Amino acid sequence: MLFLELAAQAVRGFSPSIRLALKPGYTALKSPSDLPAPLSGLIVALSFPDGRGGDVAYLAPGQKGGRAGLSIQGNDGSVWRIVRDLGGAGGLHKLNRTTNQFEIVSQEAGEMGQSLRSGAGFPARTTWEQLFTLTGPQLPTRRPKGPTGPPQSTSGSMKSLPRVVSAWNMDGGGSGSNPAVSAEDAAKLPALEAELASAKRAAEVQFRLDGVNSELYEAETKTKAGNEVMAQLNGAKEELAAFNARISTLPDDILVRAQRHNDEKRKFDEQVQRVRDEMQAAQDNQPAAPAPLLKNQQFLAAIGVGIALYVGAAFLEGSLRWLALLAMIPFSLAALFALRHIEDLQTVSRQGGKGEVLAGREKKLTDDFQLASMVVSKALTQVGTSSIEEFLTFMGRKGELVARTAELESQLAAVQSDPEFIAVGEKLSRLKSEQEKLNQELLGMSGGYIRDVRDIEREIARIKEPPAAPKPAAPPPSSSGSGFAPVPTGPTENWEDPMPPLMLLATDLFTTDIPSLWSVLHDRSVQYVTALTDRRYHGIQLDKDGHATLEAPGRTVSAKELPGKDLDLIYLAMRLTLIEKAASQHKLPVVIEDTFNTVLDATKQPLFGRMVKHLGTLTQVLHVSGSGQNASLADTPVAI
């Protein structure tokens, strides 16, 4: 997963209006104020809205309205966009690759979180907040202290060493004291305790509401599954009915005709070609038309001689008149020439008649084929296809539609026969009723705004905390020659071990148990611990429940006995280890708010920067720092 773009308008801690592209790698974001901008909280408010307008807390002071947006690239390459008016409406959108436009996915708070988890690969809210965001308030020393008391015993190696107290003072000097509880603070205590009880109840209600939302989402998913199958079945039936209506007027044998059409066309072309070849041969063998008989010189000469003999005999007398009979010879010869001319005319006439017969045969073949193909042509026009291949493909869809309809009917029957689907209506009604009831209860608590339990506990602890006893000065360094001074402990600092809840979340993320996970994390965590603590601690061990024990020169120390600054450094080392291991598998962005100047001295800042830059080679890291602070070694520094 990757954050692609961040947009903010009138958002607390940011410039009045920003829109910036977020790149892979290590990016430093500079806030306009001295405090880091609440980027991680804004991302949570956008990605996991509470549905009650709680994101209005990120509205810039004095502004009537604000707006924020976040674009995300999912693990599958899909692009999502969250846009929300602070304290108002918002929605989750997804990019349609076909139209290159964002389409609304959901505007429901519960559905948005579930869609981001299933679609974009966003982790659960608690996992995101506690593992992939690193902020100053998460440090153990900024949480409420555990019960004070004498330090717990350590391992046997410590018994041979004299007990010493912390040489490092949280107040910066060798001694210090807290002011006594004022009357004003004492008056606040009952109200704070009442607020704490209300906040705890709100946390319980919110926990139950999250569970109800999850169950409701699952129930609605099952309902939607049945509805989607029903909608698909109705769509398939409508498409099949439309298809049948479209082909209802076609002949019953149209598919056979269409399949035979190409063969018939080829046969027709062959027959026409044969007729045309015969016509061409007849034309080639056609004799030339004879010249007119009157232009035949032989015919004219024979006629002339016969006439001359006949006329000449008329002028003779006596027996010489019989010469006229000789005219019969040239007249007979002329008659022969006339008969030959008639035969030539008959031959030409016969050849012309054969051509007409062939032309008539071609016309009959053409008419018969056009009549047979007219039905197929009308069918192509009726269904809107331009070729026989397209028509056959179109007609083949009927079998696909019938099979698809039968498949959807089978799926619908299976869904409707599921006992969970049968009972889902009643379950939905119950869950929605409980959801509404829990929402009303939350809205009824201080107008819907409840402070975090830890903030209230911290304020109560500050009021109830007795004045601190003066701390004795540190003894001179050990002359044992080991080169390391024993790590001090004392009764004035007693912190909660932050490792068990951290490891519990990590086991959910890596789907394993603490011992198995620790075997993977141990070596790398030792490297981070050794580097951040200047080798004051050279080892760390976790038990099966996640409780941490540090190995110092000559002894072991429980995490709860560590000085506050060292505990913060150990916590930072573990967080960096978990982020590094998780980033190599899950590719989730990491948000760091703060440069931890109170924990890391000036000489450690470059080291911390190199560590964060290394994380930037594995996943996207957004390091937010206040104005004037230095998030060093960033690939891309950006002002927000």
Q: Could you tell me the fold of the domain covering 2-22+36-118?
A: Rossmann fold (3.40.50)
The structure tokens listed for 441 are 């209860």
The structure tokens listed for 594 are 């703060």
Q: Which residues contact 416 (CB under 8 A, 6 or more apart)?
A: 226, 422
Can you say whether the dihedral through the CA atoms of 290, 291, 292, 293 is positive or negative?
negative
Q: Can you tell me whether residue 328 is helix, strand or coil?
A: helix
Nearest residue to 594 (alpha-carbon basis) of 128, 169, 28: 28
pLDDT value of position 634: 65
pLDDT value of position 424: 66
Nearest residue to 569 (alpha-carbon basis) of 592, 523, 535, 545: 535
Quote the CA–CA distance of 175 and 573 in Å, as a whole number. Answer: 29
Quote the CA–CA distance of 550 and 570 in Å, as a whole number. Answer: 9
Over the Cα atoms of the chain, what is R_g? 51
Write the CA distances from 507 to 133, 422, 513, integer angstroms.
Answer: 17, 36, 6
pLDDT value of position 452: 63
Quote the CA–CA distance of 337 and 279 in Å, as a whole number. Answer: 31
Task: Give the pairing of strands 590-593 and 621-625.
Answer: parallel
Residue 416 C-beta-side C-alpha neighbours within 13 Å: 10
Helix (H) or strand (E) holding 411: helix 388-416
Quote the CA–CA distance of 104 and 109 in Å, as a whole number. Answer: 13
Helix (H) or strand (E) holding 159: helix 156-159
Give me the residues paired with residue 621 across strands: 26, 590
Q: 224-228 long-range CB contacts below 8 Å, 24 or more apart?
A: 225/415, 226/412, 226/415, 226/416, 226/421
pLDDT value of position 635: 64
CA angle 419, 425, 431 (to 5 degrees): 110
Can you say whether the dihedral through the CA atoms of 415, 418, 422, 426 is positive or negative?
negative
Q: Which residues contact 253 (CB under 8 A, 6 or more apart)?
A: none
Q: What is the dihedral of CA 137, 138, 140, 142, to 10 degrees?
A: 10
Nearest residue to 302 (alpha-carbon basis) of 339, 328, 321: 328
Quote the CA–CA distance of 43 and 128 in Å, as a whole number. Answer: 10
pTM above 0.95, yes or no: no
pLDDT value of position 570: 92
| Residue 326 and residue 305 in contact, taking contact as beta carbons nearer than 8 Å | no
Quote the CA–CA distance of 79 and 89 in Å, as a whole number. Answer: 21
Which residue in this structure is represented by tokens 């006893």? 469
Listed by start position, the domains of the chain span 2-22+36-118, 131-182+471-639, 289-393
Q: What is the dihedral of CA 148, 151, 153, 155, to 10 degrees?
A: 120
Pick among 3.30.56.10, 2.40.50.140, 3.40.50.300, 3.40.50.2300: CATH of 131-182+471-639: 3.40.50.300
Number of neighbouring beta carbons within 10 Å of residue 431: 21
Give the orientation angle of helix 514-532 with respect to helix 564-586, to 10 degrees. 120
Quote the CA–CA distance of 503 and 248 in Å, as a whole number. Answer: 69
| Residue 441 and residue 229 in contact, taking contact as beta carbons nearer than 8 Å | no
110 burial level (CB within 10 Å; 0-12, 13-18, 19+): buried
Q: Which residues contact 384 (CB under 8 A, 6 or more apart)?
A: none
Kindly give the parts of the chain with pLDDT less than 70.
144-182, 185, 210, 214, 217-222, 225, 283-288, 350-355, 418-426, 442-455, 465-494, 628, 630-636
Nearest residue to 614 (alpha-carbon basis) of 638, 586, 590, 598: 590
The structure tokens listed for 165 are 């107290």
Write the CA distances from 285 to 76, 271, 282, 354, 375, integer angstroms.
Answer: 78, 21, 5, 11, 40
